[in-house]
């Protein structure tokens, strides 16, 4: 490979990481929520609320950490609304999630009216000492802002939590069989509430990444459907954190590649190339789903089901 | 009750809607003007600029007008309903601001002969339906001159939304402007298949920069490409509005859509009773398109050259699509000394030689 | 305060709960509008009543509810059987593509048979597109939430490619649109002078048929059993794959019909955006109507009214769209929350009584 080609490769990898980061956050959050047995389709709404809140704080010179925290807190707050309805009042989760998305789009647009057209400084890049000097991959993987590193670290952290900690075991038990978990004495609704709030915070972080770093501005509806992709990635990941990370990178990577491919002279219409990320995700899912037993073991058995303890 | 009375009146008016229109308004009542936008006004792009035009109308006429807008109207079955609702609720002049509203506007205009309609970027007219758009390609040609003068790699990037004639024309004008000062210039096009998705626009910008592009132009709504250019230290050309705030170091200029003058003149005509169904396609000359202030880092000689081009186009001494022009396959499309007619420009669906990318057929 | 599950859903509450939700919506909506400086009574009146003030308004209302109801009835079949078809938007789009392609192929033809053929093509297009997730699920165990959702994006790109490229109107100055369909391929008006077309009659017919299938047929019983307890279903010898195929094909077919009726009805040609998200809104309608055909029709009518009301509030009172979306979200929250009263009893007791000891 020539130097120019290596540079292009490095740029593609770096762009892939950035494109994937909001998806990583949102998908990992939803993954934990679903592992506890709750299906929250309001990711898009939570991302937008997170984006506008983080931007508002950054715009008011609130500082990096406070802006990020605001995004997470706002996502969590609106997830709490979902929890009141879906857990407290046992309303239908799917419909509540969709309503939350609609509500979040409107509310974020309303809150952000005064923020349109005002730029902010993007989060600074923090090159990792040593690693960022490695040819090609150094610049691509180790020269990003704090949120990118956080998203990558979140995957193993969530994995350890889910599969190596007692709390994670309880969370999974609640998602697998809430009646049994209740019988043993676990507070099913409290566990689910915490999982929903965590999912909201992560979606909020995904939104914060969009408005603070990826495209440091606020415009209405800037999540542009990423919440839905995140939802699909949880399924793609068969509810495993590492696979969610890989899935987001695959999706982000193919998205970037198809943009490059338009100028390789392949003679395929751009609309057909634009289908590639979606088709690739389906194809890979089919490939990993062929072993039926593995899939069945991963999907939380109580996903989307209402729990009531009253006998 | 005030509300009930008002609604009772509205009902009576709606029932006789076919007969009722501009003629029914009394002279001392404000003229009601309606606007239909395809995006949210918070897109800070295309719909935002139309809304700026509406605000200019309000400012200019004060309480002699009452304006209404409906934002984010889908370009499907819903548009016709919204346009009709504006017509039945006493709006005498209605602007529908996106191509996808063309056929719905034609249908409603037929049912409300006394209401005046104006449709942007389409081609179907009627006695009470005028059409208007701006010669954005004039701005893009001039921007192409600026871009090529500033480029070191001879590679210019273009983030494009959808392969419609308006966008294709813009790409070509940009290339022709660039080639007029640098015969080696080429324009690389990336389609994002969206008018508005900041993330995707940024990704396209990065893809182009990775291919060695050192000036970015765009025909999408958000300022994300300008920000990406600022970060990487390449030049950018904004779209729809002055985007220099998003890239103070990188923003060379922007092609600004300015509807204020047109909207004010049409509202005035409707008030005076001089409104007729017209076909308006104006550019620099009418101020519908202009360039945003140049970046201070641009050398004075470049600024002067670009301004010369702007002046020449304004005075009709220069037509951006003057031959010889070859298409991508090398076939001559415009002979030397000839210019493309408006009809040919309107339906342009081929790229000029020097554009890297393809238009689907 | 705590919730106590009822043994049987309360009949009284089935009527009372939605009314309560409406009352709460009016109260909260009034407060919201008042807080933002709008006359609350005028705003609520404009939102809920003014759109239906005349025949045109009512016809537009039914026109808007038609695709929502058709799609939601189909989706509900699947949701009852635990088949998560999120792909109605794509199935609608492919139905529109198939119908539109047929209408364009028969551009020179005339005769009564053209329209039925075009609509049938729409149904088949939607069903065929839904067959993809069905194959992937039954043969490869690929989860239909992902496959059907991703196929939505693909379908919209297929439509975009066709109208920007091969199917572009030769008279349309290369703009992204096909020719307008001929009268033979267009749905006749149900009420002269309005856009409401005869296709709206499919809604009561389909609702009745689906209701009959669900409540009276063995297939309906199978769907229910497999939906409630998959294990019991397979133990009883019911085939989960059959339920998957059936619900996806019927759901896709109905979504395809809805798409065909949009392009052969109010739109009259293929354009890049055929649906303003009906496939997603219909999911809400399906659950709001508690997966019951009659409930779904009512839910579709309500959702359609919130769209018309939103337009009216923007036009008459200059309420920003963002506020309208917040209000639409609130309406749904109240309706969904009120459902709790049907299945649960609310007990206000600080402490549980513990026999006679004091």
Closest-CA distance of chain A to residue B258, Å = 17
Which of C315, C322, C323 to mutate: most B Cβ within 10 Å? C315
Strand partners, B215: B156, B235
In the structure, how many helices (H) and strands (E) does chain C have?
Answer: 14, 2
Task: Please tell me whether residue C189 adopts helix, strand or coil conformation.
Answer: strand
Spatial separation of the C-alpha atoms in residues B173 and B192, rounded to whole Å: 20
Phi-psi region of C269 (alpha: psi -120 to 50; beta: other; left: phi over 0): beta
Residue of C nearest to B42 (CA): C322
Task: Show the domains of chain B with their CATH numbers.
Answer: 12-134 (3.40.50.2300), 136-257+289-356 (3.40.50.2300)
pLDDT in tens, B180-197: 999 999 999 999 999 889
Closest-CA distance of chain C to residue A265, Å = 18
Cβ-count burial of B152 within 10 angstroms (0-12 exposed, 13-18 middle, 19+ buried)?
A: exposed
Nearest-CB residue to B42 (from A8, A112, A226) = A112
**Beta carbons of B227 and A259 less than 8 Å apart:** no
Residue pair A210/A217 in contact by the 8 Å Cβ criterion: no
Residue pair C285/C300 in contact by the 8 Å Cβ criterion: yes
Q: Which of A15, A30, A12 is nearest to A214 (CA)?
A: A15
Write out chain C residues lying below 8 Å of B15, CB-based.
54
Write out chain B residues lying below 8 Å of C176, CB-based.
162, 164
Nearest-CB residue to C322 (from A94, A98, A106) = A106
pLDDT in tens, B324-336: 999 999 999 999 9
pLDDT in tens, B265-282: 999 999 999 999 999 999
- Please indicate if any CB of chain A lies within 8 Å of the CB of C2: yes
* Order of strands, sheet of B155-160, starting from the edge strand that comes earlier in the sequence: B289-291, B251-257, B235-240, B215-219, B155-160, B186-191, B355-356
pLDDT of B23 above 70: no
Spatial separation of the C-alpha atoms in residues A122 and A119, rounded to whole Å: 9
ipTM of the complex in this document: 0.93
Strand partners, B93: B33, B116
Query: What's the DSSP call for residue B29?
Result: S
Q: What average pLDDT does chain B have?
A: 91
Residue B348, both tokens: 């342009």
**Beta carbons of A89 and C284 less than 8 Å apart:** no
Residue pair A215/A119 in contact by the 8 Å Cβ criterion: no
pLDDT of B18 above 60: no
Residue C193, both tokens: 């002078």
Spatial separation of the C-alpha atoms in residues A176 and A300, rounded to whole Å: 5
- Please indicate if any CB of chain A lies within 8 Å of the CB of C135: no
pLDDT of B29 above 90: no
Query: What's the DSSP call for residue C190?
Result: S
Residue pair B166/B198 in contact by the 8 Å Cβ criterion: no
Task: State the sign of the Cα–Cα–Cα–Cα dihedral B111, B113, B117, B121.
Answer: positive
Residue with tokens 């033979």: C184
Quick check: is C343 in a domain? no
Residue B337's φ and ψ, nearest 5 degrees, are 85, -20
Range of the domain at C181: 39-318
Query: What's the DSSP call for residue B311?
Result: H
Spatial separation of the C-alpha atoms in residues C317 and C43, rounded to whole Å: 7
Closest-CA distance of chain A to residue B227, Å = 7
Provide the pLDDT for residue B1. Answer: 33
What is the number of domains present in chain C? Answer: 1
Provide the pLDDT for residue C350. Answer: 52
Q: Cis before residue B324, ω within 30 degrees of 0? A: yes
B150-157 average pLDDT score: 97
Residue pair A250/A276 in contact by the 8 Å Cβ criterion: no
pLDDT in tens, B331-352: 999 999 999 999 999 999 999 9
Which chains sit next to B, with 3 or more Cβ pairs under 8 A?
A, C
Spatial separation of the C-alpha atoms in residues A278 and B319, rounded to whole Å: 43
Write out chain C residues lying below 8 Å of B361, CB-based.
165-166
Which of C154, C173, C261 to mutate: most B Cβ within 10 Å? C173
Nearest-CB residue to B198 (from A4, A7, A215) = A215
SS (H, E, C) chain A: CCHHHHHHHHHHHHHHHHHHHHHHHHHHHHHHHHHCCCCCCCHHHHHHHHHHHHHHHHHCCCCHHHHHHHHHHHHHHHHHHHHHHHHHCCCCHHHHHHHHHHHHHHHHHHHCHHHCCCCCCCCCCEECCCHHHCCCHHHHHCEECHHHHHHHHHHHHHHHHHHHCHHHHHHHHHHHCHHHHHHHCCCHHHHHHHHHHHHHHHHHHHHHHHHHHHCCCCCCCCCCCHHHHHHHHHHHCCCCHHHHHHHHHHHHHHHHHHHHHCCCCCCCCHHHHHCHHHHHHHHHHHHHHCCHHHHHHHCCCCCCCCCCCCC
Which of C321, C323, C328 to mutate: most B Cβ within 10 Å? C321
Query: What's the DSSP call for residue C264?
Result: I
Quick check: is C17 in a domain? no
Residues 6+ apart with CB under 8 A from A8: A260, B210, B211
Distances (CA, A) of A84 to A87, A96, A310: 6, 10, 18
A-B Cβ pairs (cutoff 8 Å, strict): 110
Spatial separation of the C-alpha atoms in residues B20 and B24, rounded to whole Å: 6
Residue pair B209/B229 in contact by the 8 Å Cβ criterion: yes
**Beta carbons of A94 and C165 less than 8 Å apart:** no
Write out chain C residues lying below 8 Å of B10, CB-based.
50, 53
Phi-psi region of B251 (alpha: psi -120 to 50; beta: other; left: phi over 0): beta
Pairing assessment for the beta strands A126-127 and A143-144 based on DSSP bridges: antiparallel
CATH code, domain with C105? 1.10.3470
Nearest-CB residue to A85 (from C4, C146, C333) = C333
Strand partners, B120: B132
Which chains sit next to C, with 3 or more Cβ pairs under 8 A?
A, B
**Beta carbons of A215 and B358 less than 8 Å apart:** no
Write out chain A residues lying below 8 Å of C79, CB-based.
94
Nearest-CB residue to A275 (from C154, C321, C330) = C154
Q: Does domain A7-298 have CATH number 1.10.238?
A: no
Spatial separation of the C-alpha atoms in residues A49 and B231, rounded to whole Å: 26
Cβ-count burial of A254 within 10 angstroms (0-12 exposed, 13-18 middle, 19+ buried)?
A: buried
**Beta carbons of A292 and C141 less than 8 Å apart:** yes
Provide the pLDDT for residue C231. Answer: 66
Spatial separation of the C-alpha atoms in residues A246 and A226, rounded to whole Å: 16
Nearest-CB residue to B190 (from A119, A224, A259) = A259
Provide the pLDDT for residue C127. Answer: 98
pLDDT greater at residue B359 or residue B24: B359
Residues of chain C with pLDDT under 50: 351-358
Provide the pLDDT for residue A34. Answer: 96
SS (H, E, C) C278-347: HHHHHHHHHHHCCCCHHHHHHHHHHHHHHHHHHHHHHHHHCCCHHHHHHHHHHHHHHHHHHCHHHHEEEE
Nearest-CB residue to C53 (from B7, B78, B100) = B7
- Please indicate if any CB of chain C lies within 8 Å of the CB of B85: yes
- Residue boundaries of the structural domains of chain A: 7-298
Quick check: is C155 in a domain? yes
pLDDT band at B323 (very low <50, low <70, confident <90, very high): confident
Provide the pLDDT for residue B5. Answer: 37
Q: Which of B45, B53, B164, B35 is nearest to B97 (CA)?
A: B35
Spatial separation of the C-alpha atoms in residues C29 and A124, rounded to whole Å: 43
Residues of chain A with pLDDT under 50: 310-311
pLDDT band at B16 (very low <50, low <70, confident <90, very high): very low
Closest-CA distance of chain A to residue C3, Å = 7
Cβ-count burial of C347 within 10 angstroms (0-12 exposed, 13-18 middle, 19+ buried)?
A: exposed
| Residues in chain B, total | 361
Residue C235: count of CB within 10 angstroms of its CB? 10
Residue C141: count of CB within 10 angstroms of its CB? 18
Closest-CA distance of chain A to residue C298, Å = 16
Tell me the CA end-to-end span of chain C in Å, nearest whole number: 22
Nearest-CB residue to A269 (from C165, C283, C288) = C165
Segments of B230-334 assigned E as strands: 235-240, 251-257, 279-282, 289-291, 325-326, 332-334
Which of C41, C43, C50, C162 to mutate: most B Cβ within 10 Å? C50
Task: Please tell me whether residue B96 adopts helix, strand or coil conformation.
Answer: strand
Spatial separation of the C-alpha atoms in residues A193 and A231, rounded to whole Å: 19
């Amino acid at each position: 490979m020539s130097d120019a080609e290596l540079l292009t490769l490095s740029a593609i990898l770096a762009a892939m990481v950035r494109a994937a980061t909001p998806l990583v956050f949102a998908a990992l959050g939803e993954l934990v929520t679903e592992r506890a047995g709750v299906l929250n389709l309001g990711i898009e709404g939570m991302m937008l609320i997170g984006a506008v809140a983080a931007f508002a704080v950054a715009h008011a010179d609130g500082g990096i950490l406070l802006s990020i925290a605001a995004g997470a807190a706002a996502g969590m707050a609106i997830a709490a609304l979902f929890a009141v309805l879906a857990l407290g009042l046992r309303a239908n989760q799917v419909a509540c999630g969709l309503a939350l998305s609609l509500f979040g789009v409107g509310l974020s647009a309303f809150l952000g009216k005064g923020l349109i057209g005002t730029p902010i400084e993007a989060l600074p890049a923090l090159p990792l000492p040593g690693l960022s000097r490695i040819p090609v991959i150094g610049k691509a993987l180790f020269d990003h802002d704090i949120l990118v590193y956080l998203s990558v670290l979140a995957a193993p952290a969530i994995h350890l939590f889910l599969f190596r900690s007692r709390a994670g075991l309880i969370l999974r038990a609640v998602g697998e069989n809430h009646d049994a978990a209740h019988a043993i004495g676990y507070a099913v609704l409290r566990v689910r509430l915490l999982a929903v709030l965590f999912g909201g915070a992560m979606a909020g972080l995904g939104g914060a990444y969009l408005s603070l770093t990826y495209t440091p501005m606020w415009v209405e509806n800037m999540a542009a459907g990423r919440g839905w992709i995140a939802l699909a990635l949880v399924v793609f990941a068969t509810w495993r954190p590492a696979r969610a990370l890989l899935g987001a990178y695959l999706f982000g990577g193919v998205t970037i590649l198809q943009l490059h491919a338009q100028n390789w002279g392949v003679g395929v219409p751009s609309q057909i190339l634009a289908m590639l990320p979606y088709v690739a995700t389906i194809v890979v899912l089919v490939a990993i789903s062929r072993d039926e037993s593995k899939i069945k073991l991963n999907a939380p058995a109580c996903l989307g089901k209402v729990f009531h303890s009253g006998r | 009750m005030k509300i009930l009375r008002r609604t009772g009146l509205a009902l009576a008016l709606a029932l006789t809607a076919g007969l009722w229109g501009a003629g029914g308004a009394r002279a001392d009542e404000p003229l009601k003007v309606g606007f239909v936008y395809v995006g949210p006004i918070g897109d800070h792009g295309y719909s935002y600029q139309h809304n700026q035009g509406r605000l200019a109308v309000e400012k200019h006429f004060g309480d002699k007008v009452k304006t209404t807008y409906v934002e984010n109207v889908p370009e499907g079955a819903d548009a016709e309903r919204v346009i009709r609702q504006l017509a039945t609720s006493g709006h005498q002049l209605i602007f529908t601001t996106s191509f996808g509203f063309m056929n719905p506007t034609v249908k409603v205009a037929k049912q409300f002969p006394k209401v005046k309609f104006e449709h942007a970027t389409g081609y179907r007219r009627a006695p009470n339906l005028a059409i208007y758009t701006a010669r954005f390609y004039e701005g893009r040609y001039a921007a192409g001159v600026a871009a090529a003068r500033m480029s070191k790699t001879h590679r210019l990037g273009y983030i494009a939304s959808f392969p419609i004639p308006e966008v294709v024309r813009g790409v070509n004008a940009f290339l022709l402007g660039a080639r007029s000062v640098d015969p080696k210039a080429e324009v690389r096009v990336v389609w994002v298949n969206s008018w508005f998705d900041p993330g995707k626009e940024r990704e396209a910008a990065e893809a182009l920069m990775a291919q060695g592009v050192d000036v970015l132009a765009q025909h999408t709504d958000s300022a994300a490409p300008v920000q990406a250019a600022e970060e990487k230290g390449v030049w950018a050309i904004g779209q729809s509005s002055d985007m220099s705030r998003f890239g103070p170091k990188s923003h060379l200029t922007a092609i600004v859509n300015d509807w204020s003058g047109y909207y004010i003149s049409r509202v005035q005509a409707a008030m005076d009773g001089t409104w007729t169904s017209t076909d308006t396609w104006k550019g620099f000359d009418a101020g519908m398109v202009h360039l945003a202030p140049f970046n201070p880092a641009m050398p004075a000689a470049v600024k002067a050259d670009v301004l010369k081009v702007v002046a020449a186009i304004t005075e009709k001494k220069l037509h951006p699509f003057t031959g010889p022009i070859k298409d991508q396959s090398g076939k001559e499309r415009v002979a030397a000394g000839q210019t493309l007619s408006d009809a040919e420009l309107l339906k342009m669906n081929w790229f000029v030689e020097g554009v890297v990318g393809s238009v689907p057929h | 305060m705590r919730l106590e599950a009822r043994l049987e859903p309360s009949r009284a509450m089935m009527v009372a709960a939605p009314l309560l939700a409406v009352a709460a919506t009016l109260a909260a909506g009034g407060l919201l509008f008042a807080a933002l400086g709008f006359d609350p009574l005028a705003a609520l009146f404009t939102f809920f009543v003014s759109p239906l003030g005349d025949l045109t308004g009512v016809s537009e209302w039914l026109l808007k509810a038609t695709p929502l109801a058709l799609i939601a009835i189909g989706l509900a079949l699947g949701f009852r059987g635990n088949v998560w078809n999120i792909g109605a938007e794509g199935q609608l789009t492919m139905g529109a593509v198939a119908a539109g392609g047929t209408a364009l192929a028969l551009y020179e033809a005339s005769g009564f048979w053209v329209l039925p053929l075009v609509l049938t093509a729409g149904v088949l297009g939607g069903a065929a597109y839904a067959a993809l997730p069905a194959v992937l699920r039954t043969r490869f165990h690929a989860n239909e939430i992902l496959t059907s959702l991703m196929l939505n994006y693909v379908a919209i790109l297929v439509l975009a490619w066709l109208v920007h490229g091969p199917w572009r109107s030769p008279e349309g100055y290369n703009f992204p649109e096909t020719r307008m369909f001929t009268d033979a391929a267009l749905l006749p008006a149900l009420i002269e002078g309005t856009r409401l077309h005869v296709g709206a009659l499919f809604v009561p017919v389909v609702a009745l048929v689906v209701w009959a299938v669900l409540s009276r047929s063995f297939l309906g019983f199978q769907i229910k059993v497999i939906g409630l307890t998959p294990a019991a279903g397979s133990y009883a010898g019911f085939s989960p794959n059959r339920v998957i195929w059936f619900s996806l094909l019927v759901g896709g077919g109905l979504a395809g019909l809805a798409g065909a009726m949009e392009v052969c009805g109010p739109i009259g040609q293929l354009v890049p955006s055929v649906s303003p998200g009906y496939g997603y809104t219909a999911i809400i309608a399906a659950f709001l109507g508690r997966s019951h055909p009659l409930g779904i029709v009512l839910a579709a009518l309500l959702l359609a009214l919130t769209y018309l009301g939103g337009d009216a509030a923007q036009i008459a009172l200059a309420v920003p769209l963002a506020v309208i979306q917040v209000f639409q979200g609130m309406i749904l929250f109240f309706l969904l929350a009120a459902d709790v009263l049907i299945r649960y009893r609310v007990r206000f007791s600080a402490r549980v009584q513990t026999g006679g000891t004091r």
